[in-house]
Amino acid sequence: MREQGKTHPSPSGSRQPSGFLPHLPLPGTIADSHVGIADMADAFGVTHRTLHFYEEKGLLSADRMGPMRVYGLDDIRRMTVINACREIDMPIATIQDLMAALNAAASQQDAARIFEDALHARKRELAAQQSILRRQMQRISELLESAADGDNPERTALPPIHLSPIETKCLVFMAEGYPANRIATMMDMDLTAVLTLESDIIRKFNGHNRFQAVAKAVLMGFVSAE
């Protein structure tokens, strides 16, 4: 449940009401409320300085119990969301936008949807980065191979790989792990035709079997690793 009346400072310094939060498991070693900064840092595996930084960014706010800084359940739950976002390397500015959207959530269902949308957006960003990294790795391999061969006149350059639309479609199904008979059904083709298609794809990627062909296709960016 959300605590009513709890407020949090915004990055500009003003305080705004806390909204609904997605349900995430709390660290098992932390109390429900009035947690000191040392226990808060230990529970989430961060430093005191990190917690101060989150406070400066308007993501958390500590109360005072005498000389000690303490956090209530609302901030513990907020820290659970923040920590999950940082584990997937979500930028602080994006986390601030997410928490602001959660502050304005009209219901628990709305908060869950907002959080899921943010996770899907981050997943798309990581997938794009993964594709770029695969292409860069492939380029590095090509450069290393070229440098090792030098100006060897006997070297025969491998032709670029070109796939027809139907080969590309078949390759995607192969990468998703479907067997040939299932691919034949999905592509409305004869099993023999699909086996011939797979054989051509394997040959184009210079593989010994479909698994090697798929691995090379992923590395070269023809299909996604997801």
pLDDT score, position 212? 86
- Collapse the DSSP code of 4 into the 3-class scheme (helix H, G, I; strand E, B; otherwise coil) and give the result: coil
Task: Inform me whether the pLDDT recorded for 65 exceeds 90.
Answer: no
pLDDT score, position 12? 38
User: Rounded mean pLDDT of 74-99?
Assistant: 93
Under DSSP, the state recorded for 7 is E
Encoded tokens for 124: 């798309």
Measure the CA–CA gap between 153 and 18, rounded to whole angstroms: 70
User: Rounded mean pLDDT of 106-124?
Assistant: 93
Torsion of CA 131, 137, 138, 142, to 10 degrees: 160
User: Rounded mean pLDDT of 95-100?
Assistant: 95
Amino acid at 164: S
Give Cα 89 distance to the centre of its chain: 8
- Collapse the DSSP code of 202 into the 3-class scheme (helix H, G, I; strand E, B; otherwise coil) and give the result: helix
User: Rounded mean pLDDT of 67-90?
Assistant: 91
Measure the CA–CA gap between 216 and 226, rounded to whole angstroms: 15
- Lowest-pLDDT range of 28-37, 42-51, 210-219: 28-37
| Cβ-contact 219, 175 below 8 angstroms | no
Provide CB contacts within 8 A for 96, sequence distance 6+: 11, 57, 58, 59
pLDDT digits (tens, 9 = 90+) for 174-183: 888 888 998 9
pLDDT digits (tens, 9 = 90+) for 127-167: 888 777 777 777 777 776 766 665 555 554 556 888 889 99
pLDDT digits (tens, 9 = 90+) for 4-22: 344 444 433 333 445 789 9
On the CB side of 203, how many CA atoms lie within 13 Å of its CA? 7
| Cβ-contact 170, 198 below 8 angstroms | yes
pLDDT score, position 85? 94
